[in-house]
Structure 1
């Protein structure tokens, strides 16, 4: 089992089929900040090419009521930058975000065409590899995705949910589009029947998992059908073998190793041909 592009798009609603998040990391950071945010960051608030997220939120607090279009765009970039550094591409510093992300936020129409979902998965794959090292004590990346993925597939880990995906009435779907699948965990959760922070208990229960105790397909057609279109726009590449790119990080995406997650029969060993035949489970 693994986290796939399907999981990323359905749980988070991020685009997985688009322009790659790659390019030069080294930039003229002062010029980039001046152009995109309106001022260069002081040297004492920078660590190389990274700035403090906490300081960024202080410089861009609540948007003024009389803000013009340029100021609105700068506030939007600052907010997105906090999301990228504090959530999607979080590192172990827990308070730094790289300035280079601003190069993808100059044009908001173009920014929406980048494959943020595949870059997020590439980053998480790499961080999982580093976390299992014998000397690894922490993990970075979008760990909330890992948590929700586990809750959807391993019932013994999941708390009891109070509420459902469509409980909230959205007054204007043009301004507030329907949320992705992972949003349903926003409700109050009951954890009294779930082991919490007991590592040995988790290990034992994972070791004892039988195949029929795993939810291999938590997103049946009935679930996907009710989700907004942006949660399934990349359906055509969910089962494609391809490299995932995130700047210098290149992680191979191998959905052919987890065919059961797509309702298919797992071949042993997996077939690595681009024209592999996928056998539907009877």
Structure 2
């Protein structure tokens, strides 16, 4: 065995762990209309999209935290707000997902009592995280007799989505209680930009994954996988149904019909990405227009906005000015990288209070979105 091949094998062994392929939890069809009111109806139908760890690692190697983009031989690419809307079916315009967060069991307990009428025990929590087993148990025990019970059921379901395919941590076993505050007004849940928050969480996970001491990646790997297979189809397994919406479900249980695909190595994907040429990156417009529901396409008004992505303490950047070709536009010279300062490294650890996202960041989000709407 020559030195090059030996190094490739060693590098493959050192790959980040990214074997989280959780699906959305099932729900009672009785709540379908209420779930649709919240904007979480589409994402609730996503099945198991098994991870291809070698491909994810090859992409992470090309992620630059300074620009929040993947750097390829033909230029820069990234998961965009457009991709989030098309892949997950989440609203991408609206109120930023942020607010105060207090790491206190008493506050967590009070919030759960407000929403569910019951509160978890300390053994049902992990710090400021509520174990998904407790939420599932509560959801399964809820009797859908009136609107109050149905809303409690739907809130449980949404929290399970947060803890699995949208904002899941590395364990995939718990969800932070901070989201509960934003679910208080049931009719107002759909007004939040959950899609941009999910993308912020993914970008933060990618930035963390580039660190030498990182051993595992979290975040919405379903979003990242599907984005790569749509935008970079030469990386993709054969889709089960090329006209299916939700788009993520085109590769639901792909391993059953693409058995050999799971054994592709990191070296294989490195070589494919190194050999990229013009025309290898697709815009979302190659997807048949009639496949995408009208209520999803309406979010395209914000897809090209260069804005901060906000999810509580997590502030990232939607650097759409650096990957214009994904929108079928000519790529000019991008702007200088945005310095997010201390916001880019904020974490929720220890008994401390995290203030809401700085007003200058949320103001930037609102201002650019208003500008986008007025221009449309």
TM category, shorter: 0.7 to 0.9
Alignment partners' CA distance in 1, 2:134 and 2:88: 27
State the shift of 1:148 in Å.
Answer: 0.4
Partner deviation per Cα, 1:105-163 (whole Å, 9 max, x = no partner): 12222001110000000111111000111111111110110000111122232111233
1:205 aligns with 2:272: yes
Is residue 56 from structure 1 mapped to residue 123 from structure 2 by the alignment?
no
Counterparts of 1:151 and 1:62, CA distance in 2: 39
| Alignment match of 1:141 (pick from 219, 243, 248) | 219
CA contact (8 A) 2:324 2:330 kept: yes
Distance 1:30 1:192, change over 3 A: closer
Equivalences for residues 1-282 of structure 1 within 5 A: 1-26=77-102, 28-61=107-140, 63-64=142-143, 67-165=145-243, 179-186=245-252, 190-192=257-259, 194=261, 196-212=263-279, 214-220=280-286, 223-267=288-332, 269-271=333-335
- For 2:133 and 2:272, the matched residues in 1 are separated by 39
The answer for the alignment partner of 1:175 in structure 2 is: none
Give TM-score scaled by structure 2 length: 0.64
Tell me the CA shift for residue 271 of structure 1: 4.5
Q: 1:27-56 CA deviation, whole Å, 9 max, x = no partner?
A: 711111001011111011112221111232
Against the structure 1 CA distance between its residues 155 and 164, is the aligned structure 2 distance closer, same or farther, given a 3 Å change threshold?
Answer: closer
Secondary structure, aligned partner of 1:219 = helix
Q: SS at the partner of 1:210?
A: coil
Which residue of structure 1 aligns with residue 74 of structure 2? Answer: none
Give the match's secondary structure for 1:156.
helix
Question: Structure 1 152/196 Cα, relative in aligned 2: closer, same or farther at 3 Å?
Answer: farther
* 2: CA distance, partners of 1:195 / 1:81: 31
1:142 and 1:271 mapped to 2: Cα distance?
27
User: What are structure 1's unaligned runs of at least 5 residues?
Assistant: 167-178, 275-282
Deviations 1:158-199 (A, max 9, x none): 111233435xxxxxxxxxxxx443333347663146363512
Is the CA contact (8 Å cut-off) linking 1:180 and 1:228 kept in structure 2?
no
Structure 1 pair 226–165 and aligned structure 2 pair: CA distance change class (3 A): closer
Q: 2-side partners of 1:119 and 1:225: how far apart? A: 27
Contact 1:50 1:96 in 2 (8 A): yes
- Evaluate the alpha carbon distance shift between residue 63 and residue 184 of structure 1 in structure 2; reply closer, same or farther with a 3 A threshold: farther
Cα gap change, 1:195 to 1:101, in 2 (>3 Å): closer
Contact 2:132–2:173, Cα closer than 8 Å, also in 1? yes
Matched-pair contact (CA < 8 Å) for 1:53–1:97? yes
Bigger mean CA offset, 111-120 vs 53-62: 53-62
Unaligned runs of 5+ in 2: 1-76, 337-367, 369-376
Q: Distance in 2 between matches of 1:195 and 1:60?
A: 35
